[in-house]
Amino acid sequence: MQARAAFLAGHKIGDMPFLPHRAPEIAALLALVCSTQVMAVEPQRWTIDPAHTRVEFHIARAGFSHVVGTISGSTGELRFDPDNWQSARLDVQVPMDRLDMGDSGWPASFLAPRFLDVQRYPQARLVVDHLSRIEGNHGRACGNLTLHGVTRPLCMDITLNRSDRVSLPPLRRTLGFSATARLKRSEYGMSRLKSLTGDFVDLRIEAELLGSEDGNPAANPTAASAR
C-alpha cells in the first residue's frame, strides 16, 4: 500500500491512464493521501503552565461583601490552532485542595463536606469541546464542568491575550487566555447555608499554556516557567 501511495503521489492524475477495473483502488489511495494531509494539520498541542494559571472565584457573603478565593496548580492540555478556533479541544483538572482565601479558617469551611467535600471530590474537571470566535481575539468556549461529583454544561467568555514566544530561555511558544463564567453552586449539589453564602459563583480564569516543540509535548511546564 505504501508503494502504491508513493507511485500515486509522484504522478499527476491526468497523466495516468484510466483503468475502470482499478477505480476502487485509486479511490482508496486518494482517501489515504487525503487523510494523511488532514492528520498533518491537526491543531497544535498546548500544555497548561501551572505556575502561571489561576482560577479565581467570587461568592457573596450574607450580602455584606464578596468572598474571593483562588486555586492554583491546574493541569491539562489544549488542542488549539489560533487560525481555526473551532478545532479547539480542552481538558483541564483543577486541584480543589489548593484553594487559597487569604485566611486559614475560610478554606477549611469551604473544603468541608457541607460544601466542596474535597475528601470525596479532590478535583474539578473542565472539558471544552466547542470554541467559537466572536470578534477579534474574543470568543466563547462551551463544554462540561464536573464539580462536587456533578457534571453540568458550562460556557465561558474568553479572550486570547497573546500568542508568541516568551523572551526568556527556552523561548517556548506561549498562549495567554483570560476567561469568565458564572455558575450556581446549588446545581452542583452544594445547597446548604444559602442565606449566609450566595448561590451564584463568578469565575475568572487567567491561564498560560506552553506549546509543543517539533510535535512533542511541552516537557515539565513548571520547570520551564520557573526559568
Q: Let me know whether 134 and 218 are in one domain.
A: yes
CA distance 28 to 143: 36
Which set of grid coordinates corresponds to residue 27? 479511490
Please state the pTM of the whole predicted model. Answer: 0.74
pLDDT at 34: 53
pLDDT at 13: 47
Q: Let me know whether 137 and 28 are in one domain.
A: no
150-176: pLDDT as tens digits: 999 999 999 999 999 988 776 889 999
45-98: pLDDT as tens digits: 999 999 999 999 999 988 899 999 999 999 999 999 988 999 999 999 999 999
Q: Let me know whether 24 and 104 are in one domain.
A: no
19-46: pLDDT as tens digits: 555 556 655 655 555 544 444 467 899 9
What CATH number is attached to the domain comprising 52?
2.40.128.110
Q: Let me know whether 88 and 161 are in one domain.
A: yes
pLDDT higher than 90, residue 217: no
Q: Let me know whether 36 and 12 are in one domain.
A: yes
**67 in Cβ contact with 106 (< 8 Å):** yes
pLDDT at 62: 87
Task: Find all residues with CB under 8 Å of 140, minimum gap 6, and list them.
Answer: 131, 132, 134, 155, 156, 157, 158
Q: Let me know whether 10 and 93 are in one domain.
A: no
Q: Let me know whether 67 and 144 are in one domain.
A: yes
Burial 18-39 (b: 16+ CB within 10 A, else e): eeeeeeeeeeebeebeeeeeee
Number of alpha carbons in the 13 Å side-chain half-sphere of residue 174 = 21
Q: Let me know whether 76 and 21 are in one domain.
A: no
pLDDT at 227: 46
Q: Let me know whether 89 and 160 are in one domain.
A: yes
- The domain containing residue 76 runs over which residues? 44-225
CA distance 206 to 215: 25
Task: Find all residues with CB under 8 Å of 50, minimum gap 6, and list them.
Answer: 72, 73, 74, 75, 221, 222, 225
Q: Let me know whether 175 and 63 are in one domain.
A: yes
pLDDT higher than 60, residue 202: yes
97-146: pLDDT as tens digits: 999 988 877 778 888 888 889 999 999 999 999 999 999 999 999 999 99
Q: Let me know whether 108 and 177 are in one domain.
A: yes
In 26-83, beta strands by DSSP E: 44-48, 54-61, 65-72, 75-81
pLDDT at 171: 80
> Count of domains in the chain?
2
Query: Mean pLDDT in the chain?
Result: 82
Q: Closest Cα to residue 95, out of 64, 77, 113, 70?
A: 70
Q: Let me know whether 11 and 85 are in one domain.
A: no
CA distance 183 to 167: 37
pLDDT category at 213 given cuts 50, 70, 90 is low
Which set of grid coordinates corresponds to residue 84? 481555526
Task: Find all residues with CB under 8 Å of 155, minimum gap 6, and list them.
Answer: 140, 141, 142, 181
pLDDT at 82: 87
